[in-house]
Structure 1
Amino acid sequence: MADTLVIVESPAKAKTIGKYLGSKYIVKASMGHVRDLPKSQMGVDVTRSYDPKYITIRGKGDVLKSLKDAAKKVKKVYLAADPDREGEAIAWHLAQYLNLDLDQPIRVVFNEITKDAIKEAFKHPRHINMDLVNAQQARRILDRLVGYNISPLLWKKVRKGLSAGRVQSVTVKMIIDRENEIRNFVPEEYWTITSKLLSDGKAFEARFHGVGDEKVELHSEEEVNKILEQIKGQSYVVKKVQKRERKRNPAQPFITSSLQQEAARKLNFRTAKTMMIAQQLYEGIDLGKEGTVGLITYMRTDSTRISVTAQTEAKEYILEQFGPEYVLAEARDPAKNERAQDAHEAIRPTSVMRTPDSIKEFLSRDQLRLYRLIWERFLASQMASAILDTMSVDIDINGVLFRASGSKVKFPGFMKVYIEGNDDSGNEDESFLPPIEEGQILVEQSIEPNQHFTQPPPRYSEARLIKTLEEGGIGRPSTYAPTLETIQKRGYVALEEKRFVPTELGEIVISLMEEFFPEILDIEFTSQMESELDEIEEGVIEWVKVLDHFYPEFAKRLKVAEEKMEEIEIKDEIADENCELCGRHMVYKMGRFGKFLACSGFPDCRNTKPIVKEIGVACPSCKIGSIIERKSKKSRIFYGCNRYPECEYVSWDKPIARPCPKCGQLLVEKKRKKQGVSIACTACDYQEEADS
């Protein structure tokens, strides 16, 4: 008969752990937090050391009764929530509710849900860490003080349903600041000169670098023509050849933020989706005969540390699968990040021997893709560096310097398994130069000057935004997903072509915040606040002092804002069409996924429809309609006939207005990650490069 109760957060985790612990243990799930601050009021007494008023969360009655009944029937209760601030707080709230003795070691933590890790963890229970609990309490109370004071002000002065938060407000401001950079950007002209040269009949490209030994930038066609005149009819003489070996190290194993970024880049996953699937992989997947197993270590971490056991297992696998030359001679030092808590390992597979292909039949498509990403990244991080042969060639043409460079993989090392993505488009393929010697005369095949203009900074993608938040010390990796969701739900920003764009509402709210609550939007202030929360966790500072440092000044600003903030009316932009249901004007509205049309008669008339974007191409199917740009439920752009549903023509590829020169049929734009954009015929083998 069971004499020990173990409480975790989720049923999936309970199921996996229950299998390892056996019949003497009852494992139950709390379904997340059981107590929180009330939704109907502030719930924080600022006059009594920010004393929080916790209540049981609505709807948790049956769960709590079940836990209380179970606790009465056993000798011991262990709290095994996740190993972070949030998990520690859940454990503390459960201990309070169940009247458990906090002087006893009732807390069990583990970084992975495997048989050995679970059994070892239960051999070493510890006391609840009140520093961790207080760090979570301080964050929760801090966010409540900001949100529950500023939000009603925004409802009154701007629009109902708005909210303001510490991290979300800074995030929206960053998106607005980037948009302003783009709006104010003044393009500058610059030119390049590319020469296609031959060495022993093999072609390669060299670019204009400067005059003599001095690097020169070209800003006008006049400057370009002077260079072209100077080198016209002159010999290309190889002045210097530099060859060297270069090592390339693999990316470190994943932490939460880098996993979110890479999943966005390589898998096209939204941040919330990445975390949801990672949670499933962590809590356990049924692998048939092997049973339910946690496939990855805990997914909320900012440490790149790897256990010796995992390193040893990876070394054995690499030796067996790739050979001794691919084995890492000695372990690399983890990346040093002064903000990292280092409480957990990096995100890695619980066993590298559990390859993606060996378990793919048990995983959904998305689970397999994310697991493969984590598995490959970890394995690559434990492999030998790649070795590249690089070559740089300086070429003199009558005092003008052209330069060519290339590299070739000499030894692939970790690149056999995985190469990290990046946010910037462009081909990373290695290019190698033909054999070239100093003093050699090269043959010019062609020379091409090109005009360019500098580009504004890009709008933030999810990956780029998360990276910037992390670099600025804003929030914590676990907060990024809910933050990005919230700012879209509130209508402060929208996603357009997978990039964040601020809305008029977002700009109005942030302008008010800048005027009345500048410290909330100050990146350094927010980063410092995160550091202080970390210091609470480390036991360096008391949580009440951190709140005292913030609240009195904030309360003064709040009083000024209540008196001086003016009401703002946001008028809808009227569209050039009427509602087909009631005849009133349609207006432009901004939703989570960009602009749409809605009837101005809302709520009497709730008609809405997408904004139609014509691309100037006749429908190739019905020959009557025209092709419009549309969006799928997952916000992916596709193309279809404007006569739908009468005509059901659809295409993921963008149709082109001119016919194929070879067969006269439809041309479409093809987008490929590595090859870029090309034009292809839908009926024959004709292809061409798209204009850049």
Structure 2
Amino acid sequence: STATKGAKKPKKDERGALVNRMGVDPWHDWNAHYEVLPGKEKVVSELKQLAEKADHIYLATDLDREGEAIAWHLREVIGGDEQRYSRVVFNEITKNAIRQAFEKPGELNIDRVNAQQARRFMDRVVGYMVSPLLWKKIARGLSAGRVQSVAVRLVVEREREIKAFVPEEYWEVDASTTTPGGDALPLQVTHKDDKPFRPVSRDETMAAVSLLEKASYSVLEREDKPTSSKPGAPFITSTLQQAASTRLGFGVKKTMMMAQRLYEAGHITYMRTDSTNLSQDALNMVRGYISDNFGKKYLPESANQYASKENSQEAHEAIRPSDVSVLAETLKDMEADAQKLYQLIWRQFVACQMTPAQY
């Protein structure tokens, strides 16, 4: 943009100080400088000693981009022949999932590592370069970020639209009537002489009310339309957070902390996912459960499919119970709030593979 082209580059000494603070150099091919955290040297030393005794090293960090980057950093800091390393990932901490992962080990996905680094670099560049400007121009303590700055822009744009909106006056007319049997029958006036009726002034409305008060009413036709409601998709991270907030009153931090504990205990699949995909094993498991516990009436002929958003990581699964036969009240090893979250996940998972509700 013009603003970007016209911006002044920092002076050389200022640039060097900025690069040192950020740990990444945008002016030299985005070179990053990594250091072992103070106090963690002993951990690194112990890992290296263990690695020297091992014939092969399996990197089994989490299956998302952050986990891939952690695996890469481990390989970098331990060192040695890259052929000694294999990458294993599993979506749930269960015996079967872990066994399958080690039966088919893979390699580090460097594209994922680069994606994580690019995101981290942008966080640093935006935060470290823009936040000081906010301190100088507005107030100290403010911060700018790769994500929050865009969100603020969207909020500001919407607020400007709201302020620019010119309201239009309109009225609605409702009639409180009763059936011959004395049952309440509320009616809304929507048409006059077969044309849509939407009065725009009090005078027009009161004129209509005056006529309606003198009229007698009769029901000429009644039609019952059954409706159905399809079940929602299994949870991804964002929808789990929303549901936990609405139904359980949990904040995002609490939701993810409870989900982490459930995952580490082997009760649910990985809780950081943007995919609604379900494995065939999971579908077979839940369809069998529905058939046995609710009956064939609630089981669709084929599994319900849900579209994930564009660019979602389809290798991941939605958030679901590791074993659908395990109910929340049996999780004696988990605290009450974790049990509540598990029940929320369990119900969403089972419901997503049932027939639509009929009204």
**Which TM-score band applies after superposition, normalised by the shorter structure?**
0.7 to 0.9
Q: Is the 8 A contact 1:102 1:128 kept in 2?
A: no
Deviation at 1:105, TM superposition (A): 5.0
Q: How does 1:150-229 map to 2 (within 5 A)?
A: 150-181=130-161, 188-201=168-181, 202-229=183-210
Deviation, structure 1 residue 385 = 1.0
* Residue aligning to 2:23: 43
| Alignment TM-score, normalising by the size of structure 1 | 0.47
Question: Which of 345, 350, 354 is residue 374 of structure 1 equivalent to?
Answer: 345
Q: What letter matches 2:249 in structure 1?
A: N
Q: Which runs of 5+ in 1 are unaligned?
A: 1-37, 285-293, 389-692
After TM superposition, give the deviation of residue 321 of structure 1 in Å.
1.8
| C-alpha distance 97-245 of structure 1, shift in aligned 2 (>3 A) | same
Q: Residue 65 of structure 1 aligns with which residue?
A: 45
C-alpha displacement at 1:43, in angstroms? 1.9
% identity of equivalent residues: 45
Decide whether the 8 Å contact of 1:103 with 1:127 is kept in 2.
no
CA 1:335 to 1:295, structure 2 compared with 1: closer, same or farther past 3 Å? same
Counterpart of 1:260 (choices 220, 241, 259) is 241
Structure 2 counterpart SS, 1:362: coil
Given that 2:58 and 2:86 are in contact with CA atoms closer than 8 Å, whether structure 1 keeps it comes out as: yes
Q: Identify the match of residue 309 of structure 2 among 320, 337, 354.
A: 337
Distance 2:147 2:253 in 1: 16
State whether residues 91 and 316 of structure 2, in contact with CA within 8 Å, keep that contact through their aligned partners in structure 1.
yes
1:665-684 equivalences in 2 (<5 Å)? none
- Counterpart selection for 2:336 from 360, 365, 384: 365
Q: Output the amino acid matched with 1:351.
A: D
1:144 maps to 2:124: yes
The answer (yes or no) to whether the contact 1:108–1:125 under 8 Å persists in 2 is: yes
Matched residue SS, 2:225: strand
Q: Give me the whole-angstrom Cα distance separating, in 2, the residues matched to 1:52 and 1:261.
A: 36
After superposition, the C-alpha distances for 1:590-632 in whole angstroms (9 at most, x for unaligned) are xxxxxxxxxxxxxxxxxxxxxxxxxxxxxxxxxxxxxxxxxxx
Match of 1:440 in 2: none
What is the alpha-carbon distance in structure 2 between the residues aligned to residue 61 and residue 182 of structure 1? 55
Q: Secondary structure at the match of 1:106?
A: strand
Amino acid at match of 1:278: A
Q: Which runs of 5+ in 2 are unaligned?
A: 1-17
Q: How far apart, in 2, do the equivalents of 1:195 and 1:339 lie?
A: 51
Post-superposition shift, 1:263? 1.1
**Contact 1:111 1:297 (8 Å CA) reproduced:** yes
Q: Look up the equivalent residue of 1:118 and give its one-letter code.
A: I
Specify the code of the residue in structure 2 equivalent to 1:43: G
2:323 and 2:46 map into 1 onto residues whose CA distance is 35
Q: Name the SS of the counterpart of 2:71 in structure 1.
A: helix
1:298 Cα deviation (Å)? 0.8
Question: How far off its partner does 1:229 sit?
Answer: 2.0
Deviation at 1:341, TM superposition (A): 2.2
The question of 1:119 aligning with 2:99 is answered: yes
Distance 1:273 1:241, change over 3 A: same
Question: What is the CA–CA distance in structure 2 between the aligned matches of 1:256 and 1:300, rounded to whole Å?
Answer: 5
Q: Equivalent residue for 2:285?
A: 313
Q: Where does residue 74 of structure 2 map in the other structure?
A: 94
Residues 48-78 of structure 1 deviation map (CA, whole Å, 9 limit, x = unaligned): 3111111122332232222222222222221
CA RMSD of aligned residues (A): 2.2
Number of equivalent positions: 341
Partner of residue 254, structure 2: 273
Hey, what's the Cα distance between the residues in 2 that align with 1:275 and 1:67? 29
Letter of the 1:353 counterpart: S
Aligned to 2:229: 248
- Shift of residue 269 of structure 1? 1.4
SS in 2 for 1:134: helix
SS in structure 2 opposite 1:127?
Answer: coil
Question: Could you say which residue in structure 1 is the equivalent of 2:8?
Answer: none
Distance (Å, rounded) in 2 between the aligned partners of 1:281 and 1:336: 24
